Amino acid sequence: MKAHVESGALRASGPLKGTPLRTGFLIFVAEMRNDAEMLVARDPFAIEGLIVSLTIQEWDPLFGAFADKSSGSLEGLDEAV
């Protein structure tokens, strides 16, 4: 995981609090979903078969600390207002 942090692919990682199982939350930067899946496959917990459930979601951080990775698109938001 250290290599992913150093390369910039892993921007944040840590446990979720108050969950019944030990649950982690990771923020990866990836061009395609398949790239994120490959990064997760190299996670030590995945290698040891310790991941019980996995959800990968695309996120577009328009504001805040990760805004430098934003698409800048507000598509769909204009219709909702």
Confidence at residue 74, expressed as pLDDT on a 0 to 100 scale: 77
For the stretch 44-51, contacts whose Cβ atoms lie closer than 8 Å and that sit 24 or more positions apart, written own/partner, are 44/1
Check whether 77 has a pLDDT greater than 70.
Answer: no
pLDDT digits (tens, 9 = 90+) for 1-44: 788 899 999 999 999 999 888 888 999 999 899 999 999 998 88
pTM of the model: 0.76
- Mean pLDDT value across residues 41-65: 91
Of 52, 49, 31, which is closest to residue 41 (Cα–Cα)?
49
Q: What is the pLDDT of residue 3?
A: 87
